[in-house]
Structure 1
Amino acid sequence: MKKAELVFIPTTGISHLLSTVEVAKLLLDRDERLSITFLIMKIRSDPKIDRFINSVSTACNRIRFINLPKDEPDPNQPRKFLFSLIETQIPHVKDEVSKLVSQSESSPDSPTLSGFVLDMFCTPMMDVANEFGVPSYIFLTSGAASLGVQFYVQALHDEQKVDPTEFKGSDAELVMPCLANPLPAKVLPSVLLNKERLPHMLRQARRFRETKGIIINTFEELESHAINSFSKGNIPPVYPVGPILNLNRDGDCDEESDEYKDIKQWLDDQPLSSVVYLCFGSMGSFGVEQVKEIACGLEQSGHRFLWSLRQPPPEGKMEPPSDYTNPRDVLPEGFLDRTAITGKIIGWAPQTDILAHPSVGGFVSHCGWNSILESIWFGVPIAAWPLYAEQQLNAFQMIVELGLGVEIKMDYRREFISDGNEDVISAGEIERGVRCLMELCDEKREKLKEMSRKSRKALENGGSSFTWLGRFIQDMADHLP
């Protein structure tokens, strides 16, 4: 293979960007002929993303980042924001790729444009790749079962004329090739049950079938059933190359900050495996009523806790949560005083450092895929409290398919953009979930430790993910234009 350049187009948002950059680094480590250009779409300036990009640029000269011009999609349609943002960026992507091709043609030492690696939401960019005569690959930041569910529902809709939104609120169970157990319809990803957003997802799944391959952030030993199911039917090759984790926390964490030192010191002072850690991802937050129930449930459980408590964005806004100026405003009266010794409330959380800490014995999580992979990597069991996207499906996998977690409420669901109408889980249910988690039997903990060992082995020389990554590079070389 001659020198080759891949163009990566991730979506906005730190959680997708982190794992996409990590897969780029893996590719560069394996083949010195590769170089990678990231085209970055931004809605607004985000210091966290800027710090991360600067950190990676400094550390690796074979990855470069180009910020695309900011185009404001229609602010009155927040639910279509991502899709309209991607559409508006197509001309800018064409311009930047044209420049890359011109540079390549004018200099014999420059790498040749050899393909696009697109985030799962960026399938419209496949048309740009086609115009330049190069293949498109998808990088899926969620798991293999999630991909299988998308293909299943798209085929159900297109071939059997079933409207999946009719499953909303039903007690139906679906038997799918990608899952060993029947899936309750009420844990289907939110987008499949929403009439407005379903067409986007169906279009996305159809486009997935046109790609030259799908790289998945998972590993064979974790999702063997789903991965094996892809060998049948018109599905492109899949490459499970994970778990892809940002363990170095490039640009994300200042170990010299008072905030970081304070969290670490508190954890150092706690007994082994005694702390339950609560965190709901970069976009997860709750209203005041639910916050009070969590607080009461934690207090009643009697277990030590470290709680990343975030303030929700204004209603109807697609913005990340922020840290509270004063958490006392939303917590039950006297709660902070009564739990001063056994608990700690934080805002931002250095998650991988917390999960790696020996005093942490359980993780109450929204079941975002990155968080699931991190919990497995560090061998910390999860209590599932999914919120949006495919998190209910991820919770089902952890609890039912894999037997690696416990349930707080597997079919809990709230909209990505809050409309103020949320179910509230009671303090009693939260207390029960925390107790189940922290008093988990040795057999389940050992099973999780075994999966943790497999996750690390998969990435080692000769491991399953190492082998799949080599296969992807070879297949990409075979498809060079």
Structure 2
Amino acid sequence: MGSRTPHIAVFPSWGMGHLLPSVEFAKRMSIHHGFAVTFITPPALTADIRSLASSLPDIRFLDLSVPHLDSLPMNDPSTWFAAMEEYKGPVKHALGSLKDELSAFVIDFFCAPLIEASTALNIPTYVLSTVSASRLCFMLFHDTLHSQTTESLKDMDGAVTAPGLPSMPSRYFPNAMQDRTQPLYHLLLRNSRLLCTADGILMNTFHDLESGSIRALIERKHELLPKWVKKGPEIYPIGPLIRCPDAGHEKRDCLEWLDRQPDASVMFVSFGSTNWFLSPDQTRELALGLEASGYPFLWVLRSDKDVSALLPPGFEMRTRDRGLVWTSWAPQIPILSHPATGGFVSHCGWNSTLESVTSGLPIVVWPVRAEQKTNAFFLVNEIGLGIEPEWGPNWWVGKDEVERAVRELMEGEKGRKVRMRAAELKESARKAVAAGGSSMDVLTALAAQWKNRAS
């Protein structure tokens, strides 16, 4: 009698930056390693996950409806963390129905309270980290950092050092870690402590991209972890987990516009799926800086307001021959990989960063929220892929500084170096997930370990 099909369960988190890596991970486990995958999904995520995973051969769904939680808005981290505490019971029940089949339970890093549910059933639990390795270092170090001082990061003037990492000014920490008097700070601290108890952490990154931070996680893990942690999670760099450019995507007008531009001439500007977090004044400064730079640009500017009212008077008319303001959904990966695209003004979300890396594009870093500031710091100072504007108060960037940063990226000496680095990392990313690559080897070894548990 042959061994049964190996089977894992996955509990993702809200937001495309979390859902996409979860689905890409499931694809690799299903297609390349023969695993059955069950997504345990709250109603808020069910439709998106089913759509993203519809083509996979052995993907199952276990809908987890908890009536008093189903109607809560899950786009607020405080709400999500609180909901995870209440999901522990229902998740434990769902896992119990699958227990005899499962080799592992894989959760998003925002879902760390669920570790307590799976541990009670003796199911090995792994965290899928959809943030950078540097950000993960600081998450595991959070408890130690918290115990070292009573002062909030927002009140510190100096830099913070974690074992194995370069010193980072406190202002580059995520907003949620800045003020220890806020409830979200303590929810994040509890989540970070729970991450330390997982069996392993699967990281959406690769060795050549974040060698220093990965080395810190592997070689100096016990210096990062709280003293009360005896073993700590094993570390598995398995990225980049991103969608491949889809040759069958709809040919949108923005791509046809790119077709008419010279190679490596266009600055692509996008701050993620929405642009609501740039103020009208900041949006106008960005517009004037792009205009003054003289370079062609494709700017994704989605807003629930009249976009023309956000832009300086006459801007669209003055730049119509070399600029395109795109106000609907844009196919980011095809844009980044287009021969005409030469640089990326990015909010430094980790998915966008990896998409830029795999496309070989350098970045003008413009972080806005969450862990983006940490990503920006390491992209500039450790990875060597970014150009950083000179920040004014409250991370303000004036039009002259926008112009300078764009010109530096496209034609300056620093720009030449980051463009060379981008080309190197594009090739490294390709090799990492190819046969014999660092990420492929790590995931293959982990899959073998899980299959042994299933047999």
Q: TM-score, normalised by structure 2?
A: 0.88
Q: How far apart, in 1, do the equivalents of 2:381 and 2:52 lie? A: 39
Task: Give the 3 Å change call, closer, same or farther, for CA 75–213 of structure 1 in structure 2.
Answer: closer
What letter is aligned with 1:264?
L
Map 1:5-154 to 2 at 5 A: 5-32=7-34, 34-43=35-44, 50=47, 53-57=50-54, 59-69=55-65, 71-72=69-70, 78=76, 80-101=78-99, 112-154=101-143
Shift of 1:132: 2.4
1:303 aligned partner: 295
Q: How far apart, in 2, do the equivalents of 1:369 and 1:292 lie? A: 26
What letter is aligned with 1:439?
E
Shift of 1:61: 2.6
1:192 aligned partner: 177
Is 1:227 aligned to 2:211, yes or no? no
1:470 aligned partner: 444
The DSSP-based 3-state class of the residue aligned with 1:139 is strand
Shift of 1:100: 3.4
1:417 aligned partner: none
Q: Which ranges in structure 1 are unaligned for 5 or more consecutive residues?
A: 105-111, 312-321, 414-422
Give the aligned CA root-mean-square deviation in angstroms: 2.6
Q: Structure 1 residues 347-356 or 195-204, which shifts more?
A: 195-204
Q: How far apart, in 2, do the equivalents of 1:400 and 1:76 lie? A: 34
Q: How far apart, in 2, do the equivalents of 1:410 and 1:224 lie? A: 28
Q: Is the 8 A contact 1:188 1:390 kept in 2?
A: yes
What letter is aligned with 1:216?
M
State the number of aligned residues: 435
Q: Is the 8 A contact 1:365 1:382 kept in 2?
A: yes
Shift of 1:409: 5.2
Q: 1:171 is matched with which residue: 121, 146, 157? A: 157
Q: How far apart, in 2, do the equivalents of 1:290 and 1:237 lie? A: 43
Q: Which ranges in structure 2 are unaligned for 5 or more consecutive residues?
A: 223-230
Map 1:285-364 to 2 at 5 A: 285=276, 286-311=278-303, 322=304, 324=305, 326-347=306-327, 348-364=329-345
1:385 aligned partner: 366
Q: Is the 8 A contact 2:43 2:70 kept in 1?
A: no
Q: How far apart, in 2, do the equivalents of 1:280 and 1:223 lie? A: 23
Q: Is the 8 A contact 2:135 2:371 kept in 1?
A: yes
Shift of 1:167: 2.2
Aligned-residue identity in percent: 34
Q: Structure 1 residues 214-223 or 129-138, which shifts more?
A: 129-138
2:227 aligned partner: none
What letter is aligned with 2:299?
W
The DSSP-based 3-state class of the residue aligned with 1:444 is helix
Is 1:436 aligned to 2:416, yes or no? no
Q: How far apart, in 1, do the equivalents of 2:376 and 2:167 lie? A: 14
Q: TM-score, normalised by structure 1?
A: 0.84
Map 1:198-237 to 2 at 5 A: 198-230=185-217, 231-232=219-220, 233=222, 234-237=231-234
What letter is aligned with 2:196?
R
The DSSP-based 3-state class of the residue aligned with 1:389 is coil
Post-superposition Cα deviations, 1:21-49, rounded to whole Å, max 9, x if no partner, equal 101111223322x2111122244x8xxx8
Q: How far apart, in 2, do the equivalents of 1:10 and 1:244 lie? A: 14
Shift of 1:53: 2.4
Q: How far apart, in 2, do the equivalents of 1:434 and 1:14 lie? A: 28
